[in-house]
Amino acid sequence: MPTVVSGIRSTGNLHLGNYFGAVKNFIEMQHHFDTYFFIADLHSLTTHPVPHHLFGNVKQVLAEYLACGIDPEKATVFIQSDVPEVSELYLLMNMNAYLGELERTTSFKDKARQQPDNVNAGLLTYPVLMAADIIIHKAHLVPVGKDQEQNLEMARTFARRFNRMYNVDLFPIPRPYVFEGQDMVKIPGLDGSGKMGKSEGNAVSLADSPHEIRKKVMKAVTDSGPTEPNQQKPEVIQNLFTLLDVVSKPDVVAHFDLQYNNCSIRYGDLKKQLAEDIIHFTAPIREKIEMLLADDQYLSKVAKLGAEKARASASKTLLEVREVIGVKKFY
Ligand code: TRP
């Protein structure tokens, strides 16, 4: 069975875009592949988070993914820092990662621009740690969005380079599993500018309270309304309809569609309905998140089980790597 590895940034607060994107795919994949889903807390250190924020975010992300339906009995769900083998492989892989290629990485250049006072070596070697995450489980497939394609390409390069350098066939070359396919709905943000994203500030989080959801949706960008019957909807309006499409009943969508087409639509009414339907949609997930966040015992059980499974796989690979490189024990 092919192995799948994916890292989840520990920034917390999944939004509707994540839900209908990555998360839906993870949940599907756990039934068909040997899946490893981990929370990349070490990667987060590149931005120097406050310690209790770092830990709080890891907990939040863990609870949110479980609430969405990632099943720790099926998938291996773990925290990156619980698997020290990854850090050792990262060190070893750093020896074959070259300054030039790391400096040319787009994500490094972006980050260096965003945080000019903190251009640390961890930022530079971010793709090496990511490669270690992936190849330590001998992954065949890595589900990634557009923004991570280059990092995955580097993981492929490092895996290939290692195999060639030592003339072994130790690492499979991981392939991207791109899920931005035909039947994927791209969830737009509330600002009319395109995709929903946490950093864009246009997102509705799964953990948002009904009050927050209403506030955000009522502020969504619209235009001055249709001026002639059956005109094509501009992007800002189409975005709201796309959101309705995923959370509302078909007759609700049809109702507003008709009103748009005969120019009687009142965007306030549409937004009110949209907000209520999002609230209805996210309620069970939000309740589950809250329940999990209050259950430290369960979360620690999940993290421990995941760490054990991940370490079993990781330590096996690491032993092979050490052997190949010539790092051997005298005892
Ligand atoms: N860099 C990824 C992101 O920011 C997270 C990540 C870390 C990852 N290690 C990974 C993703 C390994 C896939 C595989 O989204």
Counting ligand 1 atoms within 8 A of each CB, the residue from 45, 148, 153 with the most, and so the one to mutate, is 148
What architecture is the 3-185+296-325 domain classified under in CATH? 3-Layer(aba) Sandwich (3.40)
Strand (E) or helix (H) holding 147 = none
Q: How far does residue 108's CA lie from ligand 1's centre (Å)?
A: 14
Counting ligand 1 atoms within 8 A of each CB, the residue from 3, 4, 9, 10 with the most, and so the one to mutate, is 9
Ligand 1: residues within 6 Å at CB? 5-7, 9, 40, 43, 130, 133-134, 142, 144, 148, 151
For β-strands 175-177 and 3-9, DSSP reports them as unpaired
Can you tell me the distance from the alpha carbon of 119 to that of 283, in angstroms, rounded to the nearest whole number?
A: 41
The dihedral region occupied by 163, where left means phi > 0, alpha psi between -120 and 50, and beta the remainder, is alpha
Can you tell me the distance from the alpha carbon of 81 to that of 90, in angstroms, rounded to the nearest whole number?
A: 12
Tokens of 321: 């790597």
CA angle 294/297/301 to nearest 5° reads: 130
Task: Read off the pLDDT of residues 213-260 as tens digits, 9 standing for 90 and up.
Answer: 999 999 999 999 999 999 999 999 999 999 999 999 999 999 999 999
Domain boundaries, the chain: 3-185+296-325, 210-290
* pLDDT(118) > 60: yes
Question: Model-level pTM?
Answer: 0.93
Residue 185's pLDDT band, with cuts at 50, 70 and 90, is: confident
**CB of 62 within 8 A of CB of 303?**
yes
Question: Using CB atoms within 10 A of its CB, is residue 259 exposed (0-12), middle (13-18) or buried (19+)?
Answer: middle
Question: Using CB atoms within 10 A of its CB, is residue 178 exposed (0-12), middle (13-18) or buried (19+)?
Answer: middle
Active-site residues: which are they?
111, 195, 198
The dihedral region occupied by 296, where left means phi > 0, alpha psi between -120 and 50, and beta the remainder, is alpha
Which residue's CA is the closest to the ligand 1 atom numbered 6?
Answer: 7
CATH 1.10.240.10 is the classification of domain 210-290: yes
User: What average pLDDT does the segment 183-193 reach?
Assistant: 85
Q: How far does residue 319's CA lie from ligand 1's centre (Å)?
A: 24
Which pLDDT score, from 0 to 100, does residue 203 have? 95
Tokens of 171: 């690492």
Counting ligand 1 atoms within 8 A of each CB, the residue from 129, 133, 147 with the most, and so the one to mutate, is 133
Q: Using the atom order of ligand 1, give the atom closest to the CA of residue 40.
A: 7
- Using the CB atoms, write b or e for 267-288: b if 16+ within 10 Å: beebbebbbbbbbebbeebbeb
DSSP 205: B
Tokens of 217: 């949706």
Residue 186's pLDDT band, with cuts at 50, 70 and 90, is: confident
